[in-house]
Amino acid sequence: MSGGGGRGVLVTGASGGIGRAIAQRFAADGDRVAVHYASRKEEGEATLASLEGTGHVLVRGDIAEPETAQAVAAAAVEGLDGLDVLVNNAAAVIPHPLPETSFADWQAAWQRIIGVNVVGAANLSYCAARHMIERGAAGRIVNVGSRGAYRGEPGMPAYGASKAALHSLGQSLAVSLGPYGIGVASVAPGFTATERVEARLAEEGPAIHAQSPFGRVAEPAEIADAVAYLASPEAVWTSGAVLDVNGASHLR
């Protein structure tokens, strides 16, 4: 691991919601965090300002573009003096229910969602893992997937498909990278109370809460706790796992 100030951790899509909570959790644990955002600069800066400790950096880029994903990884490595943990949290979310969506919009949604959620994550994983291998240091990659990979996303089928692919990517990389001491695992959250879904929760709250026997949805910090565990040295034997974090709202 990187010397001084804990580990170097890149969290993509950290301008709010689950990504912000993950960045805050790693910083609270004494790690140095690269806060990634694509376009929400003010929100990214707010996340950076909220972090405990020092040595954190802000990195920007649309990871759907291969060259930009490579540049984001390089900026994190430089800014953190090495990268020990990658959290693939960034995700494109575009509603596109088939009966109501034009073919042009359907194509655009699939291209964008797969580009960010799968190809972007794959390219960042490549860059991060190559850096870890070259340094000869153990590392962790944690993917933020979704229960939607299993229960379906009828209003956003590309999103559900992308998260299933992300889980599978993590399992393939777990086998590939294990010999180098790099663990790869995923979390599959259920409905989580983020800014993105505030309006939907206000409108459909009781029905959504009823999906879990706990009668509520997750808080972002609860997902961050699971990510922090999977990225910990103690969790190396979870490599290849997909951890359901959905409050028993979907069982498989």
Catalytic residues: 146, 159, 163
Backbone angles phi, psi at 6, to 5 degrees: 75, -160
The letter for the amino acid at 138 is A
Task: Answer for the pair 175, 185: CB distance below 8 angstroms, yes or no.
Answer: no
Closest by CA to 26, choosing from 71, 66, 85, is 85
145-157 exposure pattern, b = at least 16 Cβ within 10 A, e = fewer = bbbbbbbebeebb
Phi, psi of 55 (to 5 degrees): 90, 10
Greatest alpha-carbon pair distance for the chain in Å reads 54
Query: Residue 11 has which token pair?
Result: 């969290």
Residue 74's Cβ-side half-sphere holds a number of Cα atoms within 13 Å equal to 7
Which residues, other chains included, contact 182 with Cβ-Cβ below 8 Å and sequence gap of 6+? Answer: 129, 132, 133, 138, 139, 140, 141, 173
